[in-house]
Chains A and B, each alone.
Chain A
Amino acid sequence: MKLITAIIKPFKQDDVREALSEIGIAGVTATEVKGFGRQKGHTELYRGAEYVVDFLPKVKLEIAVSEDVLEQAIAAIVKSANTGKIGDGKIFVTALEQVIRIRTGETGNEAI
């Protein structure tokens, strides 16, 4: 099992969710986060006072998947979250030791 952590542009959240649903992925956790990468920040101006905003709003999606759908899921995220511009985000894949469904106590792939 793997945990996919995808940092994407906030307005792409619905597109990614749809793309994942289409390949049968049933669970996603989304968090509003802030960060910066190559896109850097931007400036805001209030009554002439300039503020540099270093951290830009992003959405972090966490998806637990079984090994056999991993590549499919990554491809779906890359395709649906891509705008071709700097700031589209990143995908991290980490090993996932265990998954437990709280209601039934099922574990492993059964619980995903």
Chain B
Amino acid sequence: MMHIFQQKKGLTLCLLLLMPSIAMAEELNQANTAWILTSTALVLFMTLPGLSLFYAGLVRSKNVLSILMQCFAITCLISIMWMAGMYSLIFTDGGSVHAFIGGLSKVFIPNMGTSNLVGDIPETVYFMFQMTFAIITPALIVGAFAERMKFSAMMAFSAIWALVVYVPVCHWVWGGGWLATMGALDFAGGIVIHITAGVSALVVALVIGNRRGFPTTAMPPHNMPMVVTGAGMLWVGWFGFNAGSALTADGSAGMAMLVTHISAAAGSLTWMMIEWIKFGKPSVLGIVTGMVAGLGTITPASGFVGPVGALAIGITAGVVCFYAVQLVKRRFSIDDSLDVFPVHGVGGIIGSILTGVFAAESMGGLGLSMSMLEQVGVQTLAVIVTIVWSAGLSYVILKAVDSVIGLRVSEDEEVQGLDIILHEETGYHNL
């Protein structure tokens, strides 16, 4: 039991503090199980095909397949790695080093029977649900190095990154590690997913360098309907991401879904209005980018804040992420090609810090176990540590992969496009 409790501590630690009764549940709860099974499917649906289509539409037609391939291959790679050891290193007891990393007792998940429970849901379901989060995180980074990275280098980077960046940070926050002990709040992955992926994306963009011709050559999205289709799937899938993270089918899941939706809508409208005022036209890409910003930003807060907090977070996300894109891409000419850092990284940072503010009862939230100031302090510390860890290790991994495999395709290959060069296929045929 102690063992199982240790694992459950992961995602629900903060919820447990609020509702200790859940922690004591020992019997299978079929309602909760049904919802987490559903949520698992929704979160995988975010990567395949939501994020894949969203990203694939944003690149030029000669690279459409490379993006779809990268997302698909990452899904398969992380799934096997998850079984091989990632799950164990995050969610089992790490003994004397538990503050920093979990143990090896569930490497290749021996004895994973149908009757094992984590809390009141089957461990199989918990394993699968958590896996889908580990899958989408490296897939998000794909947007930063799109249209120029070697497939082999992408696979090597993603595998090592998942092991040395995702696993520890996820353990610190959701596996009962030191950030969880300090009381850092991250309901569904602002720190664990959006900051790790967003910050690493910026480092990748800097290390691998700009696409040939950036920023002077036009590189418009090749298929906007594909982008909007993927964006819509992300919004729907995000219900599983955030409302599933409650690990229960109850009012807290309902509230997480509600605030997620409000923030997405507010982020969308805010981005649209800024473009309308600034550039004269409300753009389709603008409204869907605002949606992703609103969703990414509410993620860490989604189990802790109320509807008004969600509205404030969504509007903030729209404004801050919009200007972050202009700053990174226009001012500094950094080719984070699909704007992963300004949308996910910046969204994750402001969302994680604002969680400390809007979770307070006085701000319409569900309450804090410490003062608002203390909570914001803990949140800020967690954010800074995660930024430094993700950026530093990403840099080291990239340099190592570059020296062994090489990160980029040649200039000539880049001009021809990754689809035909790396995969010997093309996305579209004329006759």
Could you list which residues of chain A lie within 8 angstroms of chain B, going by C-beta atoms? 44-49, 51-53
Contact = CB atoms under 8 A, between A and B. Distances in A.
A45 B281 contact: yes
Contacts of A49: 215, 329-330
Interface stretch (B21-29, B132-140, B238-246, B282-290): B282-290
Interface of B: 215, 218-221, 275, 279, 281, 283, 285-286, 289, 322, 325-326, 329-330, 339
Contacts of B325: 47-48
Q: Across the A-B interface, give the 7 residue pairs with the lowest CB-CB distance, nearest first.
A: A51-B218, A48-B326, A51-B220, A47-B325, A46-B285, A45-B279, A46-B220
A46 to B, nearest CB: 5
Nearest to A52: B218
A48 B220 CA distance: 11
A43 to B, nearest CB: 10
A47 B218 contact: no
A48 B219 CA distance: 13
B285 A47 contact: yes
Given A44-B220, A46-B283, A48-B329, 6 more contacts: A44-B218, A46-B220, A46-B221, A47-B329, A47-B339, A53-B218
25 contacts: A44-B218, A44-B220, A45-B275, A45-B279, A45-B281, A45-B283, A46-B220, A46-B221, A46-B283, A46-B285, A47-B285, A47-B289, A47-B325, A47-B329, A47-B339, A48-B275, A48-B279, A48-B325, A48-B326, A48-B329, A48-B330, A51-B219, A51-B220, A52-B218, A53-B218
Nearest to B283: A45
B8 to A, nearest CB: 41
A44 B280 CA distance: 12
